């Protein structure tokens, strides 16, 4: 087994290497770096590969049950459609749910999920 340790925005993200990329609450990235990160994540997928991403929406600020405190670090459907426009969006859903993921992420939360596939050709 081989592993690497790096900050998500600094990792090399090899091109067309992964069948699945899962990014769960990776929102503590500056908006300028987020664009590059999302591009690299998409490019790292093999044809037909899936991207699974979950994060908080701006509505999360009213709950204060986790996540960034800066609205520019939160995701909207429009932001994710634009960021992953080169992929086929299979599901994009914003909703509110009760989370219990540790002491810093517990309670009602405003989340958004995207499932997208890289085209085969």
Residue 110 has what pLDDT? Answer: 97
Burial class (CB in 10 A: 0-12, 13-18, 19+), 110: buried
Residue 104 has what pLDDT? Answer: 75
Residue 1 has what pLDDT? Answer: 82
pLDDT in 10s for each residue of the chain, 121 residues: 888 888 887 888 999 999 999 999 999 888 889 999 999 999 999 999 999 999 999 999 999 898 999 999 999 999 999 999 999 999 999 999 998 887 777 899 999 999 999 999 7
d(CA 11, CA 86): 21
Which positions ≥6 away from 88 have C-beta within 8 Å? 116, 117, 118, 119
Residue 9 has what pLDDT? Answer: 79
Token pair 């709950």 is at which residue? 63
For 99, other C-beta atoms within 10 Å of its C-beta total 17
Sort residue 107 into left (φ over 0), alpha (ψ -120 to 50) or beta. left
């Amino acid at each position: 087994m081989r592993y690497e340790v790096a900050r998500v925005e600094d990792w090399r993200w090899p091109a067309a290497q992964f069948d699945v990329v899962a990014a769960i609450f990776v929102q503590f990235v500056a908006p300028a770096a987020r664009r590059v990160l999302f591009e690299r994540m998409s490019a790292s997928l093999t044809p037909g590969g899936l991207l699974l991403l979950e994060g908080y929406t701006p509505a999360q600020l009213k709950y204060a049950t986790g996540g960034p405190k800066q609205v520019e670090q939160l995701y909207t459907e429009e932001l994710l459609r634009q960021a992953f426009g080169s992929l086929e969006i299979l599901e994009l859903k914003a909703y509110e749910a009760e989370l219990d993921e540790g002491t810093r992420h517990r309670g009602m939360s405003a989340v958004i999920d995207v499932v997208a596939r890289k085209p085969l050709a």
